[in-house]
Amino acid sequence: MKRTVLALGAAMLAACTTAPASEAQPAFSASGKTLRQIYEYLHKNPELSFQEKNTSAFLSAEMKRLGFTVTTGLGDQWVKARAMKEYGKVQDGVGGYGFVAVLQNGPGPTLMIRADMDALPLVEKTGLPYASTFRDTAWSGEESGVMHACGHDIHMTTWIGTARELVARKSEWKGTLVMIAQPAEEIGLGSMSMLEDGLYTRFPEPDHVIALHDNAALPAGYIGLGSGYVMANVDSVDLTVKGVGGHGAYPQDTKDPIVVAARIVTTLQTLVSRETDPQDSAVVTVGAINGGFKHNIIPDEVKLQLTVRSFADATREKLLKGIERIAKYEAMAAGLEGDKAPTISIKDDYTPSLYNDPKLVERASALLTKEFGSAKIATASPTMGGEDFARFGRTADKVPVMLMWLGAVSQAKYDASLRPGGAPLPSLHSSGFAPDPDPTIATGVKAMTITALDLLK
């Protein structure tokens, strides 16, 4: 999932120079449209990471209509410059198709509210009358259907609704409102791209940054809040085990990398079970192991792909060093050293863990409980999933950030799933995921608006 931005350059350039199916979108303006109409349009017209051209244009036009000063990205020019490693020459973009909308309303604090725009390479199977039928080529080169299976269409619609409310209620707040539309969350690169483009230097630096994410296991009308660590560090590790190949009938003449890889896989499990405090959280998963192609041939190498999850940075560092140590010494035990030692590549653009500022959560929790009632406010447990929103709080100034969960499941489906033999709920990133739009959006707009009004006192 995670690759460096520059390493992605060629794939991004290829994707952007191929005319995407989404360019066939019908003309549509948010002006005068209900939030439900906006949601259905966004759901029906998804765009992939770093290809959010029409989505960005649609959202930025609405921000301009509301009176925001809008700075848009350079889109294709930004991607091409990145691909050609000439990014330093591009000064006006905000991370590809990302953009920043600023509304100043006298002296006061600065609040940033973020929405993510990109969809997933997935064929939609919801059966909705406004289901997506688009197909496009992803940054990784595969051609696929495109679907908002993670609910970014909900996020964007709620974001527009919140902007409309705050503009209509300008007499109730003072300060600077910064609304950002972020690209490429699904590949973990969008927030980094916007920050590298000067989000905190070219625009008012926020006192707080807030966002929401729909939740596929919580009924619509509910809000989930977690304090402290709520989402994990996400690292991707590529490990190549080298060996000496040969005939499967004469293993004594070989150094079998499949056997070494198997040893590595089993020993890696001790990083969590025997080297991590049971009260800490960690995951080391080998998601792919590839080597060999015939029954009677011992291959020269085996490749492993790992995902590594943690909350604390010290735990992350310990896990990554442990992977290197185990790979090295399991290979040495098999006589594989020097140029036959395993090679390990740890992606340097990992997604950091998301830490919800406890004071900000406490403040928001009091407000939301008063508005919705304590029964509608759920305590969110930390999850080992990742969210690149975390980077907005990982800058040198440690800006307080908070992401809240927004229940998105219809109450009827939720209740049915709890009954014996009930159908399980489709998860995020599922081809069958379909939020209950009206109550989900209404709750999101109300929650974000009252939180923003409090932070902009």
Q: Which residue numbers are catalytic?
A: 116, 186
Short-list 27, 46, 29, CA closest to 38: 29
User: CA neighbours within 13 Å on the CB side: how many for 424?
Assistant: 4
Q: How far apart are CA 144 and CA 121, in angstroms?
A: 6
Q: How far apart are CA 436 and CA 40, in angstroms?
A: 12
Q: How far apart are CA 183 and CA 194, in angstroms?
A: 9
Burial class (CB in 10 A: 0-12, 13-18, 19+), 315: buried
Say what the alpha-carbon torsion angle 29, 30, 33, 39 is, to the nearest 10 degrees: 110
What's CA 124's distance to the chain center, in Å? 19
Q: How far apart are CA 53 and CA 61, in angstroms?
A: 12
Amino acid at 327: A
* Residues ≥6 apart with Cβ < 8 Å to 62: 29, 30, 31, 160, 163
Short-list 361, 1, 441, 401, CA closest to 190: 1
DSSP characters for 208-219?
Answer: EEEEEEEEEEEE
The bridge status of strand 208-219 relative to strand 110-116 is parallel
Short-list 317, 318, 314, 343, CA closest to 328: 343
Q: Are 100 and 94 in contact (CB under 8 A)?
A: yes
Q: How far apart are CA 191 and CA 98, in angstroms?
A: 9
Q: Are 298 and 243 in contact (CB under 8 A)?
A: yes
Q: How far apart are CA 77 and CA 69, in angstroms?
A: 22
**Token code pair at residue 338:** 């020097």
Q: Which residues pair with 208 in a beta bridge?
A: 111
